[in-house]
Each structure stands twice: as C-alpha cells, then as structure tokens.
C-alpha cells in the first residue's frame, strides 16, 4: 500500500508538472499568435497608409500649380477696376487663397508622415500651435478665440498634425460664422475613454436645409462649404469621430472625438485657459 500510494503521488506530481508545462506552452503559442496577427494588421495598415499618402501627395502636387494659376487669374480680374462682380471676385480670391493654404498644410503633414522622427505633443502645445495659426484670421474678423484645456493628454506628432489641421479648419469656419466682437471657443475635455475637442461659435446655427459634412455652396451666414467635408475625411483617416453636437440660433458646437488609441496619459495634470 505504501508503495502504491507513493507511486500514485509521484504519478500525480508528474502529470501536474506535465499539464502545467503544456498549459504554459499553449499560452505562449496563443500570445505569439496574437502578436503575429497584430503585426500583420500593422503591416497592412502601414501599406494602406503609404498608398493613400502617395496618391494624396501626387494629387495635391497636381492641384497646387493650377490653383496658383487660378488665384493669379482672379487676382488679375480684381485689379482691372471696379465692377458689379467685385464682391464675387473678392470671394473667389479669398477662396483660392484658403485652398492654397490648406494644400500647403496637408503637404506639410504628408512630409512629416513620411519621416521617421516621432515625438509627443501635449494639448497645451497643440493649443499654442493652433492659436498661432488662426490669430491673424481672428484679428481680421474682429473675433476672440478662447481656449480651455481641462485634461492632461499627449498625442504623437502625427496625430497632433492631423488633429491641429482639423481643429484649425473648424475654428476658421467658426470665426467666419461669428459676428464681429464675438467669441469662438476651443476646449479639450475627458469623456470616458476619449478626449473631446470642441469648437463653438456664436453664429446663426447650421442651416437646416443642408446636409452635414457634404460639400455645398458657402454663404456668409452658413459658411458650410468644402471645409467641413475635408475635415470629416481627415477625421476618418485619423480614426477619430467628427460630429455636430449643438446647433441653435445662438451658435454651433462641433466636436472632434479622439479615441483612447490616439492619445496617452500625461504625467502632469494641466488646466489651462487662454
């Protein structure tokens, strides 16, 4: 009996050790399989991003020269003297200039996407970059920009580039919609696992007869032309959400929502108002 019991215990220990090793091997195999699947996803995404970036860069470069020629043409029309079409000519000059600026910004982002350098950008740094870009437009329209950062987060430089491009475009639309001496707001707040970047204006609200995020004719009251459509496409490319959260006769609020995969916790808590 003693020999039988001892043999049974030895067999049980051997089986336990064997099954523990087998379970560990299974866990390692599952972990490596998951890493391989993730690596394949990242490679596929990198290939898609590279292809999209190459095509976009080619198209943007192709548009740049014709657009410059168009701006020179409409500028020449404006210099020929006063006419009944002066208002349309000035609007065409402003539109082509803005499109050129947008193309230059997109080219800058594409060049950095192709580069190997990576670094982190805080939300306060992003606010400073955006403010520098839009302040001349604020002064031109007599509108004040009020920025608030209520959460601490950092973005990669590539995410920050696209985020800044989208928010600057939303702010420019908000400035155009806001009457003189009004205020445009930019705020960053934490919402569950997301960071919401909200842009608010004091305009008449989004026109009810227009489809959101679709290109349409821009008017002084609505100012909802191609900019919102481009912003939506950039948000989709980034993997973020862009939505109209509020539209009233007192103003609109658009929100760019960054999911948890696009930002990281900062080591310091920041509350900033500027």
What is the tens place of the pLDDT at every residue in 9-37?
887 777 777 777 777 776 776 776 666 66
Residues 157 and 256 in one domain: yes
pLDDT tens track for 74-94? 566 655 555 545 666 666 666
Residues 61 and 131 in one domain: no
Residues 167 and 54 in one domain: no
What pLDDT was estimated at residue 212? 81
pLDDT > 90 fraction of the chain, expressed in percent and rounded: 34
- Which of 50, 81, 116 marks a domain boundary? 116
Residues 148 and 21 in one domain: no
pLDDT of 190 over the 80 cut: yes
**Taking residues 93-118, what's their average pLDDT?**
66
- Which of 94, 116, 138 marks a domain boundary? 116
Residues 189 and 71 in one domain: no
- Alpha carbons within 13 angstroms on the beta-carbon side of residue 45 total 9
What's the structural domain count of the chain? 2
Residues 175 and 99 in one domain: no
Q: Which is more confident, 52 or 139?
A: 139
Task: Give me the CATH number covering residue 173.
Answer: 3.30.565.10
Residues 257 and 137 in one domain: yes
- Which of 116, 133, 154 marks a domain boundary? 116
Residues 195 and 213 in one domain: yes
Task: Give 82: exposed, middle or buried? Use CB within 10 Å, 0-12, 13-18, 19+.
Answer: exposed
Instruction: Assign 220 a pLDDT band (cuts: 50, 70, 90).
Output: very low
Residues 141 and 230 in one domain: yes
Give the domain range for residue 130: 120-274
Residues 107 and 243 in one domain: no
């Amino acid at each position: 009996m003693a020999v039988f019991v001892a043999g049974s215990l030895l067999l049980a220990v051997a089986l336990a050790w064997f099954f523990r090793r087998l379970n560990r091997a299974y866990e390692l195999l599952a972990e490596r399989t998951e890493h391989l699947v993730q690596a394949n996803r990242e490679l596929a995404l990198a290939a898609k991003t590279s292809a999209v970036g190459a095509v976009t860069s080619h198209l943007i470069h192709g548009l740049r020269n014709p657009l410059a020629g168009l701006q020179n043409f409409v500028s020449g029309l404006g210099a020929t003297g006063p006419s009944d079409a002066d208002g349309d000519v000035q609007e065409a000059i402003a539109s082509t200039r803005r499109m050129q600026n947008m193309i230059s910004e997109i080219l800058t982002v594409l060049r950095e996407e192709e580069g190997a350098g990576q670094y982190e950008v805080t939300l306060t740094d992003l606010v400073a970059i955006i403010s520098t870009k839009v302040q001349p437009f604020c002064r031109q329209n007599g509108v004040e920009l009020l920025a608030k950062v209520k959460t601490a987060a950092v973005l990669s430089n590539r995410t920050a580039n696209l985020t800044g491009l989208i928010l600057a475009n939303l702010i420019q639309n908000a400035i155009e919609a806001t009457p003189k001496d009004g205020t445009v707001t930019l705020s960053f707040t934490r919402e569950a696992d997301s960071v919401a970047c909200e842009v608010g204006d004091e305009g008449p609200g989004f026109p009810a007869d227009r489809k959101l995020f679709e290109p349409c004719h821009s008017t002084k009251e609505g100012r909802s032309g191609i900019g919102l459509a481009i912003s939506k496409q950039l948000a989709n490319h980034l993997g973020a959400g862009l939505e109209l959260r509020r539209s009233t006769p007192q103003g609109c609020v658009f929100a760019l929502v960054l999911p948890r995969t696009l930002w990281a916790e900062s080591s310091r808590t920041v509350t900033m108002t500027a």
